[in-house]
Structure 1
Amino acid sequence: MLICISSLIKTERDSKQISLLPVPLYYKLIDTQLLQFSGNSLILTDILKEDWFVLDQLIDHFQHYEKEFELEIKSEKNSQNTAEGNKVITSLCEKYFPKLDLNRIKRNQNAIEQGYFLFSEDSTMYLKADSLQGIYYGIQTLIQLLNSTNSKDLLRQVAIIDYPRLKIRGVSDDISRGQTATVENLKKFIQTLSHFKINHYYLVYMQDMFKFEKYPDIGKGRGAYSKAEIKDLNDYAKKHFVELIPIFQTIGHWENILHDENYWDYGEFPGSNSLNIANEQIYVLLDSMIGELREVFKSEYFHIGADESWDVGKGASKAYVDKIGISQAYLKHYKKVYEIVKKHGYTKIIIYHDILYKYKEVLVGLPEDMIIMYWKYNTKDKHPIVDKIKAFKLPLVVSPSIIDYNRLFPSLLRSEKNITNLIKYGYKNGAIGEITSSWGDYNNKEIRENRIYGFIYSAQIGWDPVREMNFLIFWKSALFHFFGIDDSRLLKVIKILRTVEANDRLHTRQTFYYNHFFSHPYNKKSKIHKRNLKTSKYDAVIKDMDEILTLCEELELNVLKNEENLQVFTFIAKHIKFYCQKRINSKKLVDYTPKKLRMSLKKHIIEEIENLVQNLTSLLDEYESIWMRIAKKDGFEAIKNKYLWLIEFYNEKIEEIKDKMEWINPNIPSETIYLDSKNKHQVDTVFFNKTFEIQEEIKSAYVQVIGWNFAKLSLNNTLIGHVITRQSLNYVVLKNNIQIFDLKDYVRKGENLILIETMQYDGGVGSVNIYGEIKLKSDRTIQIYTDKSWLGTRELSGQWKKVKSFGSPPRVTGGLCYPNFELNRHSLQSDMMTSFNALIGRIPKKMYWLLVLIMKLFNRYDVLE
């Protein structure tokens, strides 16, 4: 395939540096004289007219800067002329790259499928490729050459031979944990990333983010994609030479679905992470779901997930797994899923590595064409597990991360090292590709637009893992091509944001940022807590955030495209600025005592808090505006609720100061209780009970229940409901970890018995935290909450014993404010609320003492907020 752009006009000379991403494998600047398009310029090509869409972006480029611009395209059907053009390309290759083995390049499969030759000769530019995809990539390079000049219609005279060293260069985009991208936003990502020659785009996770006709309750209220939306997206991706591929979990990460009582029979237990592989009906379900996906996901690739299947063998499949062995159980399952996927026409099947690599029997028995995706997000330069997988001669792709999960802004420094080191190591060890991941842990609070920069970085490393990176040149090039201007102010914004993490300027781990941001600002009143509120040099951070705001305001007048991403930078700066102001204010008010406070100082404190409320309200409005532009509305309320709680905390404090009230502990008094820790690391059932007396008529009665992992609530021998509380990164579980129940119709005069049955499947300690309020008609309120006065037993007919306690919040759970029962708003929960119990279940028994020690230190030094 050949494109000749002729009748270009030679103009002035330019020694400005060329900015190309990815950097071509072989290229030379052959003349500093520029070539200009004119009204006489002509595109002559032997490409079939039906494939001329590959030229659309080039035409769009010119019309973006000059609406009246027209470029004539003619079809060249004369094979002799095409042959002459190919001869010219060959002679130019030999002229400018005499030491290259052109025959070797022409035999290279990646060069055949995705490579291109781009040369200028006199007043003509030649673009040749063996594939339409190669032509498309050559056009992207042409556009970057045009962008590299001020007028955007001039071409540098170059000689380029280019093709990828890795066949697959992709990204996996988490759209399943709250922030579900609109189709238009996904198209923006696909177009942008295809410009940097990304060719795979994975949607994570599609088992509960697709509107299945046979299972309409799956994904409901989550922003799940319809068949029409995916078909539209697939067609768009195809025109950009991007494979749109689902990551459809087939064993683990099913808790969003298995949380629903209608699907409990498919799982190990209620709310399980894993399917019950002893139940043959799961294969009927998977077959049906994959069949529906096949209608719109037309790629030959299909990703079956299969990572982090923590719950296999813990519940319904235990007898089956014990009988045939865990490795054989996994292998049988993987092969069954493989056959189902193959049946639906997918020929290239991918599976995560982290479970299967542990079992030699699995590695030996997997189909030899099963592609293993090795994911790892550390910064190490060696990966022994890759070596282990390589020994079994299975196809391999590596998967680093942009490390954006559960943090305000991606960890650029760590992700650059992770992406660079892992892709290079994979390439040296025969990997066929790389897929760089993004994740939206804990409701995906971070703005997805910030993923684009790490994805672009991975495009460069994936195209040429051999090249040593110059980070300054990369960032200048990436920002230049993304925003359309070469401006040092863009680089300065990135530099400032990099320093926040690199220099630990906020004095906290990136993954703890949101916990601190949303924690109650007046959670504690102790000297230790005051010391923990580290605010050193926050004034300098605030000053730098103000500089970002100024820079972005100036840049809005200059950037030529993607202006909306500047708004995201300003939001990040405002967010960090508020974080600093919040912590400074919290530290200042630890010592607050109303009786010793002068009236003028009291007024000043109120004004300061009112300013915080105003800034936080504005921040929320801006966040909502950005969210609604890039994502579906589904999922936003869960995060908005956190902001609203924080605003409420500040308003309550203002009223307390006005009323001259002493500090009030904002946490509920309920303790997290348990019977004992004898049955760790196994399935365990514990019952808890408490009696209480009611002598009056009641107005209302509510109770809030947190129960690890599965807890049933009964009152006076009547089952009220259940709650599933467990560690998860996934949306439905997080949304439902705390439940409020209305007890009004079940409370009676006289003695009442509240009973909780907990089933601990994670191997932790079966524990509960219960807080309730019964409002009497006399306007008196009775509180019901768990403490050491409750009783527990493992057998209802057995002896009831006194329970033990981990203490009240923030111990173990982090802060838990008082719920608003009337509005059905449960306590604001920390992302860390369930972590302790999950750690008990996962940490080896011999290391349990260390976990206990760590928790004691956390309590002693008042760490949890």
Structure 2
Amino acid sequence: MFIYLENLDKEEGTKEEIYLIPPPRYFKIKNSHKGIISEDSKIFTDLTEKFQYIIKQIQDVLLSFSLKNPLEVIRVQHIEESPQIKTFLEDNISFFPENLFNTVSVKELYRVQGYLLISNDSKLIIEADSIQGIFYGVQTFIQIINSAKDKLSLNNMILLDFPALQIRGVSDDISRGQAPTIENLKKFIKNLSHFKINQYYLVYMQDMFRFKNYPSIGENRGAYSKENLKDLIDFANNHFVEVIPIFQTIGHWDNILQNPDYWEYGEFPGSNSLNIANEEIYVMLDKMIGELSEVFSSEYFHIGADESFDVGKVNSKHYIEERGLGNAYFKHYTKVYEIAKKHGYKKVIIYHDILYKYKDVLENLPKDMIIMYWNYSIKKNHSIIEKIKDYNFPILVSPSIMDFNRIFPSIDKCQQNITNLIKYGYKKEIIGEITSSWGDYRNKEIRENRIYGFIFSAMVGWDPSKEINKANFWKGLFIHFFGILDHRFIEIFSKFRVIQEKNLLHTRTSSYYNHFFAHPFNKNTSKYKKNIKIKGFKSLISDMDAIIEKCEELGKIIVKNNINIRNLSFVAKHIRFYCKKRINSLNIVDFHLKRERTVLKDYCIIEIENLITDLRNLLNEYEFLWFNCAKEDGFKSVNQKYLWLLKFYNKKLEDLRANKKWENPNIPSELIYLDSNHIHQIHTTFYKKTIQIDEQVEQSFIQVIAGCFSKIFINGEYVGHVISRRTLNYVGIENNIQIFNITEFLKKGENVVMIENIDYIGGIGPINVYGIVTLSSGEIIQIKTDKTWVGSKTNEDEWINVRSFGRPPKGTGGLNYPDFEKNIHSRADDSMPFNLNSLVSRMRKKYFWLIKVIVRLFNRYNIIE
């Protein structure tokens, strides 16, 4: 197959710098002579009508580069019919070093994905054995002319190229809140195919697909229809990208298992894992995979199977004890493998992190199953790959762009992780690499910023044996993604890198959002003041102002992907606000601690008014950027975090103007537990509180955070349940804190509030309850967990006083007062209130005392916000 251009205008010139991503395997500029494409140039090709869209891509690019009219296209049946083209090709192949072409052209990866490109004597040819190779040659051709100042010329050159790795792909998290539109997914696929990515994985499809057999799965999640995905896959096929589902088949099922209709399939309500002792799960998996197979046409199917932490804890406990965990996993993986094969998937992929621990699995798993080894560290050696390799499995490696829970991906760590893991894997004869992105904790970060790390991985994955020239990579990215090379790009990305590397925000990159959304006036002590680090923030604010200005300037001159410039500007605005917020928080502490504070008060009021204006503008911009790339589903959840912050500032303005003293903004309820005697066991704890009501109740609400799984009873009547666990997944985070209207359950006289808590993960089963009872007189009675509550393991007469970790932010982090009437629960960090029990469940029982000491130290030094 070939594309041949003739009648290029000749010109004496100089050798221009050419930035190619990925760099070709063999590339040489012969001399400074140039061929310039003009309207007199012609295209000859043997591509059939089916692939004329590739020719159209060339035509569209040339027209965008100032060519006035499309080139004439002449169809040739076969290169043998055109001696001139055949002679040009044969004559110029001789310019490659001795035997290079003959050696390369017989390699399998050259035949299916490779190409040659030759420019000489006013002619150019792209030739390949496959249409995919032709497509890749066209992408390189576009980058060559895009690197030229006039955008239409290229030096005389010879280029021979093919990938070192069969598979080069990305794994895109679409499931944790920010579900991209089909058009946005197409944009990613189009851009990444230009850099020769050939696989695109959608994470996680078990609850992001509209299943006919299970219609409640994926509701209000932005789940995709068959029609949506078929349209996407057809588009991807034209760009030689396979779209592949990552469909979890054992772990990461907590989004679905939050729903009582599916509890029978899990280890326990809200479990992370399916119950592999229940044969009915295979009926369900069979139906679901069958529906997916009607849409996803790739030979590849990813069955997930990572992080199945809850297997064997409850419903499958007896089954696992009888068979052994390794053998049980092997049987499960094999059943799922057979289901995938039954539905036409020839190549089944599975994550490594559970299976590699069990000899039963490694010895007996089908040897054509592909193991995906994921690791997000920057280390250079990976012994687990060697262990898996010893059992003769094909291996994919999966590094990360390091974007999870960050305002901007960690550039340096991302590059080190991608480079080190892929290079090591290549030495161990892996078949490919899939670079992942993750949207942990609601996917607050705008997804457009994932593209830079994905493109970097495309470069490394094409030929891991090459030395990485990062400076050339970034220059090439700016030219080919934005259309220009401008020093301001380098300044912007360099500043973001420095902020991360030198920790200029005084917090871990993955903790940024925790501080950003935290109540700005949570405490007012001198110790808290010392804990607010703002060194260098004024300078950083100036730097962010400069970046915003640069983005505005670049937005006026870049050729394409303008929205990505706007995203960069938003990141700078976000960081700027963060710095201003922390400075203001420090000033407010000063205001409350000082006696002479009239001038400071006026200054704080003006500062907060400006912050409110900035925050509203920031939220408006965030909303625009979200809806530019993602569906509505998931936005409300993140939007509420910004609205809480606005509410906190408006409340502080009211208090300052009214000369009110500082009041603790956190609910008064404490995190209580009974004892630590049952750590690492599944155990039930009953908590009880009696409340006296002497008037008619107008309305009453209660907010509950469970110690895993709680049932709420008022006067013996069941009210509802709450599942609270540390999770990265969207539905679990959304449901971790629940509000109930309990008005109808209350009466005059004694009322008993009882919580039956089952700790399925083996922690200490702590709970936090806050509620109000509004009486007809207007009096409000608070319901709050504290040491006046009693607990029991039997719900009989053996009730004893509970223990406490204190009120927020102790133990739980900040928990502001909920808006009961609007059913908006307390603002909480997405992980902090649930981390304590999770941590206890994973450590040795004898070290529980250390947890208590750490919490006391955190409280003493005001570390928890």
Partner of 1:51: 51
Distance in 1 (alpha carbons) for counterparts of 2:490 and 2:324? 55
Residue 612 of structure 1 and its aligned partner are, at CA, apart by 0.4
Query: Superposition pairs for residues 412-491 of structure 1, below 5 Å?
Result: 412-491=411-490
Partner of 1:187: 186
Cα pair distance change 1:517/1:314, threshold 3 Å? same
Distance in 2 (alpha carbons) for counterparts of 1:41 and 1:848? 77
Cα pair distance change 1:449/1:40, threshold 3 Å? same
Distance in 2 (alpha carbons) for counterparts of 1:643 and 1:547? 25
What RMSD in Å do the two structures reach over aligned CA positions?
A: 1.4
Residue 499 of structure 1 and its aligned partner are, at CA, apart by 0.8
Distance in 2 (alpha carbons) for counterparts of 1:78 and 1:800? 89
The answer (yes or no) to whether the contact 2:706–2:722 under 8 Å persists in 1 is yes
The residue type paired with residue 737 of structure 1 is N
Deviations 1:536-559 (A, max 9, x none): 011111111011011111111110
Deviations 1:290-325 (A, max 9, x none): 111111111111100000000001111111111101
The residue type paired with residue 612 of structure 1 is L
Secondary structure of the corresponding residue to residue 156 of structure 2: strand
Distance in 1 (alpha carbons) for counterparts of 2:844 and 2:233? 45
The residue type paired with residue 401 of structure 1 is S
The answer (yes or no) to whether the contact 1:594–1:662 under 8 Å persists in 2 is no
Residue 11 of structure 1 and its aligned partner are, at CA, apart by 2.4
Query: Superposition pairs for residues 100-139 of structure 1, below 5 Å?
Result: 100-139=99-138
The residue type paired with residue 221 of structure 1 is N
Residue 480 of structure 1 and its aligned partner are, at CA, apart by 1.5
Residue 695 of structure 1 and its aligned partner are, at CA, apart by 0.1
Partner of 2:525: 526
The answer (yes or no) to whether the contact 2:173–2:438 under 8 Å persists in 1 is yes
Partner of 2:858: 858
The residue type paired with residue 473 of structure 1 is N
Cα pair distance change 1:798/1:85, threshold 3 Å? farther
Partner of 2:95: 95
Distance in 2 (alpha carbons) for counterparts of 1:532 and 1:29? 58
Cα pair distance change 1:416/1:78, threshold 3 Å? closer
Residue 106 of structure 1 and its aligned partner are, at CA, apart by 1.8
Distance in 2 (alpha carbons) for counterparts of 1:849 and 1:52? 70
Secondary structure of the corresponding residue to residue 592 of structure 1: helix
Residue 806 of structure 1 and its aligned partner are, at CA, apart by 1.2
Residue 207 of structure 1 and its aligned partner are, at CA, apart by 0.3
Residue 578 of structure 1 and its aligned partner are, at CA, apart by 0.4
| Structure 1 spans left out of the alignment, 5+ residues | none
Distance in 1 (alpha carbons) for counterparts of 2:460 and 2:87? 32
The residue type paired with residue 178 of structure 1 is G
Partner of 1:727: 726
Distance in 1 (alpha carbons) for counterparts of 2:102 and 2:123? 25
Residue 600 of structure 1 and its aligned partner are, at CA, apart by 4.0
Cα pair distance change 1:846/1:369, threshold 3 Å? farther
Distance in 2 (alpha carbons) for counterparts of 1:247 and 1:2? 36
Partner of 2:815: 816
Secondary structure of the corresponding residue to residue 164 of structure 1: coil
The answer (yes or no) to whether the contact 2:80–2:86 under 8 Å persists in 1 is no
Partner of 1:70: 70
The answer (yes or no) to whether the contact 2:178–2:634 under 8 Å persists in 1 is yes
The answer (yes or no) to whether the contact 1:111–1:164 under 8 Å persists in 2 is yes
Distance in 1 (alpha carbons) for counterparts of 2:212 and 2:190? 30
Deviations 1:99-143 (A, max 9, x none): x53333122111111000001121110111110000000000000
Distance in 2 (alpha carbons) for counterparts of 1:745 and 1:853? 42
The answer (yes or no) to whether the contact 1:5–1:44 under 8 Å persists in 2 is yes
Residue 471 of structure 1 and its aligned partner are, at CA, apart by 1.3
The residue type paired with residue 96 of structure 1 is F
Query: Superposition pairs for residues 536-685 of structure 1, below 5 Å?
Result: 536-593=535-592, 596-685=595-684
Cα pair distance change 1:278/1:566, threshold 3 Å? same
Cα pair distance change 1:125/1:324, threshold 3 Å? same
The answer (yes or no) to whether the contact 1:251–1:309 under 8 Å persists in 2 is yes
The residue type paired with residue 836 of structure 2 is F
The answer (yes or no) to whether the contact 1:167–1:432 under 8 Å persists in 2 is yes
Partner of 2:318: 319
Deviations 1:561-617 (A, max 9, x none): 001111101100000000000000001111323993554432221111011011001
Partner of 2:35: 35
The residue type paired with residue 9 of structure 2 is I
Distance in 1 (alpha carbons) for counterparts of 2:94 and 2:164? 22
Distance in 1 (alpha carbons) for counterparts of 2:358 and 2:857? 37
Residue 864 of structure 1 and its aligned partner are, at CA, apart by 0.8
Residue 47 of structure 1 and its aligned partner are, at CA, apart by 2.0
Distance in 1 (alpha carbons) for counterparts of 2:508 and 2:521? 21
The residue type paired with residue 306 of structure 1 is A
Deviations 1:67-123 (A, max 9, x none): 74211222212452467745643442332323x533331221111110000011211
Partner of 2:25: 25
Distance in 1 (alpha carbons) for counterparts of 2:81 and 2:849? 79
| Structure 2 spans left out of the alignment, 5+ residues | none
Moved more, 797-806 or 300-309: 797-806
The answer (yes or no) to whether the contact 1:2–1:82 under 8 Å persists in 2 is no
Partner of 1:517: 516
Partner of 2:392: 393
Partner of 1:364: 363
Distance in 1 (alpha carbons) for counterparts of 2:335 and 2:56? 43
Secondary structure of the corresponding residue to residue 577 of structure 1: helix
- Identity percentage of aligned residues: 52
Cα pair distance change 1:553/1:79, threshold 3 Å? closer
The residue type paired with residue 4 of structure 1 is Y
The answer (yes or no) to whether the contact 1:256–1:732 under 8 Å persists in 2 is yes
The answer (yes or no) to whether the contact 1:675–1:686 under 8 Å persists in 2 is yes
Distance in 1 (alpha carbons) for counterparts of 2:84 and 2:309? 62
**How many equivalent residue pairs?**
864
Cα pair distance change 1:29/1:726, threshold 3 Å? same
Secondary structure of the corresponding residue to residue 744 of structure 2: coil
Residue 850 of structure 1 and its aligned partner are, at CA, apart by 4.5
Distance in 1 (alpha carbons) for counterparts of 2:797 and 2:13? 93
The residue type paired with residue 772 of structure 1 is G
Query: Superposition pairs for residues 139-288 of structure 1, below 5 Å?
Result: 139-288=138-287
Partner of 1:14: 14
Distance in 2 (alpha carbons) for counterparts of 1:154 and 1:747? 82
The residue type paired with residue 341 of structure 1 is A
Deviations 1:134-180 (A, max 9, x none): 00000000000110122322223221000010110000000000000
The residue type paired with residue 369 of structure 2 is M
Deviations 1:489-547 (A, max 9, x none): 11111011111111110011011110100000000111211111000011111111011
Partner of 2:382: 383
The residue type paired with residue 77 of structure 1 is Q
Query: Does 1:342 pair with 2:341?
Result: yes
Moved more, 454-463 or 84-93: 84-93
Cα pair distance change 1:702/1:464, threshold 3 Å? same
The residue type paired with residue 509 of structure 2 is Q
Distance in 1 (alpha carbons) for counterparts of 2:842 and 2:126? 57
The answer (yes or no) to whether the contact 2:726–2:834 under 8 Å persists in 1 is yes
Distance in 2 (alpha carbons) for counterparts of 1:20 and 1:595? 61
Query: Superposition pairs for residues 731-746 of structure 1, below 5 Å?
Result: 731-746=730-745
Residue 858 of structure 1 and its aligned partner are, at CA, apart by 1.7
Distance in 2 (alpha carbons) for counterparts of 1:249 and 1:132? 33
Deviations 1:825-849 (A, max 9, x none): 1000112221111111123446545
Deviations 1:397-422 (A, max 9, x none): 00000000001000001010000000
Distance in 2 (alpha carbons) for counterparts of 1:309 and 1:51? 44
Secondary structure of the corresponding residue to residue 96 of structure 1: coil
The answer (yes or no) to whether the contact 2:45–2:75 under 8 Å persists in 1 is yes
Deviations 1:326-376 (A, max 9, x none): 001100000000000001101011000000000011011111100000000
The residue type paired with residue 500 of structure 1 is I
Distance in 1 (alpha carbons) for counterparts of 2:356 and 2:220? 36
The answer (yes or no) to whether the contact 2:115–2:128 under 8 Å persists in 1 is yes
Distance in 1 (alpha carbons) for counterparts of 2:619 and 2:261? 36
